[in-house]
Amino acid sequence: MQRRLPVLAAVLTALAAVSMPAWPQARSEQAANHAAGASDTKDMASGEVRRIRSDQNTITLKHGPISSIPMPPMTMTFKVRNPALLDKVRVGDKVLFRAEVARDGTCYVTALDPVR
């Protein structure tokens, strides 16, 4: 077991070096779009609401790829900065959403629109 830890550490370090540079770029592009008042949906990902926890300001989405933070398709729970976003959707709704990653690594949904 002890022999595996240095290998695991090396692999995680290598993965961080490969994937992390794209995140600051994605955040700066999002900031530019937001500053420009872009309501364009091209940077929004699609998903389906699986769970809403209003008491924790979280939403669980089964989503496709999120190009703005590069993230592959999966089901995961996001925090929301604006709790009013959760009032717009119900479990089972198909949605378009925008996500960002905070400096501490927390993933947030920053825009959320049901697809009706």
Secondary structure string (H, E, C) spanning the chain: CCCHHHHHHHHHHHHHHHHCCHHHHHHHHHHHHHHCCCCCCCCCEEEEEEEEEHHHCEEEEEECCECCCCECCEEEEEEECCHHHHHHCCCCCEEEEEEEECCCCCEEEEEEEECC
pLDDT for 68 equals 86
Q: Which residue has the higher pLDDT, 113 or 36?
A: 113
**Is the pTM of the predicted complex or chain greater than 0.85?**
no
- The residue with greater pLDDT, 14 or 23, is 14
Beta bridge partners of 113: 96
pLDDT score for 34: 46
**Arithmetic mean of pLDDT over the chain:** 79
Mean pLDDT of 82-101: 96
Q: What is the pLDDT of residues 28-77, one digit of tens each?
A: 444 544 443 444 667 899 999 999 999 999 999 999 999 988 899 999 99
